[in-house]
Amino acid sequence: MKLKKIFIYMFSVGTIILLVKNASLAIGYASDALNICFEMIVPSLFPFFICSGILIYSGFCELLAKAFQFCMFPLFRVSPAGSSAFILGIVSGYPLGAITAGELYESSYLSKTEAERLLAFCNNSGPLFILGSVGIAVYSNIHYGIALYTAHILAALTVGILFRFYGRNKHCAPPTQMTSPDRSMGEIFNIALQNGIRNILTVCGAVLFFSVISRLLLDIIPLNGTANALFSGLLEFVTGTVKISGLTISIAQKLVLTSVIVGFAGISVHAQVMAVIAKYHLSLLPYITGKALHGIVAGLYMLIYLHFNPITSAVFAPSLGRSFASVSAFELITASVVIAMCITCAFGLYIREHKKKRTL
């Protein structure tokens, strides 16, 4: 019997025993995790899943590939088509970057090595989660969210540059022209909606499972304070982020730890990625290594930022008036960009369908 199967059997049996012995606690922890899903995850991710799906299936990835073809291969040794996975990953959040990378590999836009290289840095947390859920909901300050998101993206770019040396002697995919099938706006929205529902259920299911398991384990393992919060974050980063925010340490230390946890993403996100890319038979070693590096580098960038911009009450105080103005401006810009992209896609589809009818 393979060692992997033995580990799976032991984990499954141990988890069942843990849940049965602590049934009442597990129900309470599951209820708390559901509240996190309904209050933080669904509002911050589901709209982006729908919008990003519309962009993918309307042909917007073709425009991204053309726009970023000048830098994708020189920086990351990834074909220009991979830019769509990276951009959608940093705009929409986990696990859309990994999903897009797998679909690009399946469509032969990327070689296997390029897809594995891309997985190391394209699967990232989105701005709506870091700015909204972490910055505003958890820390009650949009400025914290901006600092965290900046460190997060810079770390992703750094990991991507480092991983350009992964499998450098292996071939890259031949240059191909990205094409998307002609679909009506109704078909595009239906596909995006179905995929969005499936993805958000996958995310919430992973958060629920790993949040319950981590809290039950922490009832057994004698960990307190920072160690407890970090262990929770390594298993499920949303729960870990909430716990870190409640620690009795300085806000600067909380931000550094949060940056590390969000960068690593947690085993719950890695389980989601394993589920969505299993059918492509890609190696997960570059992905896991990349996320570990991402967490470390993001924490270092946050330390550098706080060294040159120390937190003061004048700059970072969670003033309701100032925070409301900042949040309103951010929401206005985000909404405007999303509306503009949707209008552009709709107009492009209309022109393409109109030309198609004229040629018939």
Cα of 9 vs its chain's centroid, Å:
29
Element (H, E) at 10: helix 3-21
Closest CA to 345 of 200, 194, 183, 196: 183
What would the pLDDT profile of 259-276 be if each residue is shown by its tens digit?
A: 999 999 888 888 878 877
Between 65 and 178, where is the model more confident? 65
The lowest-confidence range among 2-16, 105-119, 269-283, 321-335 is: 321-335
The answer, yes or no, to whether residue 331 has pLDDT greater than 60, is no
Between 31 and 327, where is the model more confident? 31
Distances (CA, A) of 143 to 108, 220, 239, 294: 41, 37, 21, 21
What's the pTM?
Answer: 0.74
Backbone φ, ψ for residue 332 (5° rounding): -65, -45
What would the pLDDT profile of 138-150 be if each residue is shown by its tens digit?
A: 888 888 888 999 9
Residue with tokens 């060294």: 307
Percent with pLDDT over 90 in the chain: 19
Mean per-residue pLDDT, 204-233: 84
| Alpha carbons 50 and 293: distance in angstroms, whole number | 30
* pLDDT recorded at residue 171: 54
Is the Cβ–Cβ distance between 45 and 247 less than 8 Å?
A: no
Backbone φ, ψ for residue 288 (5° rounding): -65, -45
Mean per-residue pLDDT, 309-317: 61
* pLDDT recorded at residue 119: 92
Is the Cβ–Cβ distance between 206 and 279 less than 8 Å?
A: no
Q: Which of 60-74, 107-121, 177-191 has the highest mean pLDDT?
A: 107-121
* pLDDT recorded at residue 328: 42
Mean per-residue pLDDT, 84-92: 81
Is the Cβ–Cβ distance between 234 and 266 less than 8 Å?
A: yes
